[in-house]
Amino acid sequence: MTTHHASATPDLPLDMIIFGGTGDLSFRKLLPALYMAHLHCNLPPDTRILTIGRKPWSREEYINEFMEAKAKPFIEKKAFDAAAWDKFLALFEYVRMDVDSVEDYQRLKEASRDGVRRVFYLATSPDLFTHICENLSAAGLVDENSRVVLEKPLGHDLASAQEINTAVGKHFSEAQIYRIDHYLGKETVQNLMVLRFGNAIFGPLWQAPYIKRVQITVAEEVGVGSRAGFYDKTGALRDMVQNHLLQLLCIVAMEPPVSLDPDAVRDEKLKVLRSLRPMTPEDIARDTVRGQYTAGAVNGEPVKGYLEEDNVPPGSRAETFVALRAHINNWRWANVPFFLRTGKRMQKKVSEIVIEFSELPFSIIPSGGRNYGNRLVIQLQPEESIQLQMLAKEPGSGMHMLPVNLNLDLQQAFTERRAEAYERLLIDVIRGRLTHFMRRDELEAAWAWAEPILEGWSKSGDKPRGYTAGTFGPAASTALMARENAVWAEESQ
C-alpha cells in the first residue's frame, strides 16, 4: 500500500478539533503539548482549538474548570509563561456535543471556519471512530485539507481494526489519516534510526549470527490508576505490546529504508511485521508469560494489587504484565530471539533495548569462567543513553578481562530542549509529515500477529500469574530467559 502525500503542505489557518476534549489524554498530554507548540511558535498563525465534550459548560467554565484546573498543572513549571498561556487560552472554543447526535454536528459546523485545515483528533474510545467520521462527513466538515488523528488502541482485534480502517477510509484518504503511536514521537526512538542508519560501524554486525538475542523492555512503576474502565478490557498486550513494543522491534529489525519518506520507512516496518513467526498454541504456552500485580511496594510505598484497584471487576483476568519470545522469519534474523517485556507496577521505570552480540568463538583471555558477549544498551527512558559494553583488562598483574561501559549520555551531549512525543507528533500532523505514524497495513499486520496470542490465552483457561508489585514480574518471566541460559538485563548487572 502506498500513500500519496504532500510533504510540505503550506500552512493554512488551522482548526484543531479534539473529540474527547475533556478526557484524561487531553489534559495530561494533548493540551500541554499544544501549549508548548504555541509557546515555541509552531502553530500556524491563525489557529483555533475546538474541544468537544458532553459537559454543559460555557466557554468560561471550560477554561476555568478544565484548562486552568486540570491541564495547566501538567505543563512543566519552567515552561510556563503567563502571557503566552493567556494568548493560548484565547485560541479555545468549547463545543458541547453528544457525538451520537447527528444534529450536534451542525453545532460543530457553525463553530468551525470555512477554508481552513481541520484536524480532527479522536481521543475517544475506538468504538466511536466510525460513527464520528461518518457524521463529520455527513455534516460537510471533511474536505481535501482535513486530517484525522486516531488514538491507539485502534480496535480490539484484527477484525475490529479492519472495520474501523475501512469505515474511516470512506471519508479520509490514507494520506489524511494519522494513526498515532506516541512511542514513535520519542526523541530516543527516532534516534535509534540514526544510530542504525547514520553509523556505518553497526551495519555489518546488525544481523545473525553476530547478534544472538534482543531484549526490549518497557517497565512502568505506575499501576492502572483511574483507568481501570479502559484498561481492564484492554490488558498489556493490546495496550503496549501490539503497538509500542512492536514498533520498537520494527525499528531495531527493519532493513535500511531507501529514504526517510513515509512510505519508504513504513514499507520496511511492514516487512518486519509480516515476517513475525505466527505463534501456535504450543508456542503461546511455552513462549509467553502474562502476569497481574498483587499488593506490594514500589519505591518503598505500599501499593494495592490490581484486583483491589478502583473499578476492577472481581476476579478480572486482565494482564498487567507480558513477557514473550518472538521470532522474525527472514534472512537477517533467522534464529535470533526477540524477548519483549512490559508491565505495570514494576520495580523501576525503564524502557530499554538490549542488543546482545554473540560471544567469542574461543577465548585466550581468562574471564572468570564467564563468556561475556558485547552488549549495546539503548535506554529510552528515564535517561536517554547508549552504552556499549566492552571487555577490558582488569588492572593488575596477569591478564583478566571484565566488562566496562562505553557511555554516551545524550542528555549531556545535547542540552537543547527535548519536545515531548505528543508535541512532536502534533506538529507532524499539522505539517503533513506521516513518517512517524502507522499505515493501515502496518497496523493490521501487528494485529494479525497479536490476536492469536489473545485467543490462545483465553482458550487456555489459565489465569495470569500473580507478581508482587515492585518486582520485575512473575518468576516465569525469568524462567523464559533461563531456558536458553540468558537473563534479563537488570539481572546481569
- Minimum CB separation of residue 93 from ligand BG6 in Å reads 28
Our CA angle for 374, 385, 474, nearest 5°, is 70
Q: Which long-range contacts (CB under 8 A, 24 or more apart) does 69-78 make?
A: 70/27, 71/26, 71/27, 71/31, 71/32, 71/35, 74/27, 74/28, 74/29, 74/31, 74/32, 75/32, 75/35, 75/36
Q: Give min distance, CB of 101 to ligand BG6, in A.
A: 28
DSSP string, 16-43: EEEETTTSHHIIIIIHHHHHHHHHTT-S
C-alpha cell at 258: 531507501
Burial 82-99 (b: 16+ CB within 10 A, else e): eebbeebbebbbbbbbeb
Q: Closest Cα partner for 332 from 249, 277, 255?
A: 255
Which residue's Cβ has the minimum distance to ligand BG6?
A: 239
477 contacts 323 by C-beta, under 8 angstroms: yes
Q: How many residues bind ligand BG6 (CB under 6 A)?
A: 3
Q: Rank residues 182 and 327 by Cβ distance to ligand BG6 and give the closer one.
A: 182
- Minimum Å gap between C-beta 416 and ligand BG6 is 20
Residue 268 exposed, middle or buried by CB count within 10 Å (0-12, 13-18, 19+): middle
Q: Mask 246-265, x = binds ligand BG6 (CB under 6 A)?
A: --------------------
Among 15, 174, 220, 319, binds ligand BG6 (CB under 6 A): 220
* Residue number with CB closer to ligand BG6 (240 or 355): 240
On whether 261 is known to bind a ligand per the annotation, the reply is no
319 contributes a contact to ligand BG6 by CB under 6 A: no
- Coil, strand, or helix at residue 351? strand
239 known ligand binder: yes
Q: Report strand pairing: 47-53 vs 14-19.
A: parallel
Q: How far is the CB of 469 from ligand BG6 (least distance, A)?
A: 15
Say whether 99 counts as a known binding-site residue: yes
Does 186 appear as a known binding residue?
A: yes
Query: Is residue 182 a known part of a binding site?
Result: yes
Q: Is 491 exposed, middle or buried (0-12, 13-18, 19+ CB in 10 A)?
A: exposed
**270's grid cell:** 511492514
C-beta closer to ligand BG6: residue 239 or 283 = 239
344 is in an annotated binding site: yes
Residue 239 interacts with ligand BG6 (CB under 6 A)? yes
Q: Report 345-384 residues binding ligand BG6 (CB under 6 A).
A: 381
Q: Which residues are bridge partners to 119 per DSSP?
A: 16, 147
Q: E strand or H helix at 453, and its extent?
A: helix 440-460
Q: Which is nearer to ligand BG6, 106 or 381 (CB)?
A: 381
212 labelled ligand-binding: no
Cβ(92)–Cβ(59) under 8 Å? yes
Is the CB of 220 or the CB of 267 nearer to ligand BG6?
220
Q: Which of 156, 171, 244, 327 is catalytic?
A: 244
Q: How far is the CB of 239 from ligand BG6 (least distance, A)?
A: 5
**Phi, psi at residue 189, to the nearest 5°?**
-70, -40
Least Å from the CB of residue 477 to ligand BG6: 19
- DSSP 3-state of 1: coil
Question: Quick check: 404 and 375 in contact, CB under 8 A?
Answer: no
In angstroms, what is the minimal distance from the CB of 283 to ligand BG6? 26
Annotation marks residue 4 as catalytic: no
Q: Which is nearer to ligand BG6, 220 or 451 (CB)?
A: 220
Contact between 207 and 351 under an 8 Å Cβ cutoff? The reply is no
Name the DSSP letter for residue 320. Answer: S
Q: Which is nearer to ligand BG6, 228 or 376 (CB)?
A: 228
Residue 384 assigned to a binding site: no
Task: Give the contact letters, 179-218, x = binds to ligand BG6 (CB under 6 A), - = no.
Answer: ----------------------------------------
Question: Is 306:294 a contact under the CB 8 Å cutoff?
Answer: yes
Q: Which is nearer to ligand BG6, 136 or 236 (CB)?
A: 236
What single DSSP character describes residue 307? G
Question: Which parts of this chain interact with ligand BG6 (CB under 6 A)?
Answer: 220, 239, 381
Binding residues for substrate: 182, 186, 220, 239, 344, 349
Binding residues for NADP(+): 54, 98-99, 152
The catalytic residue positions are 244
Binding residues: 54, 98-99, 152, 182, 186, 220, 239, 344, 349
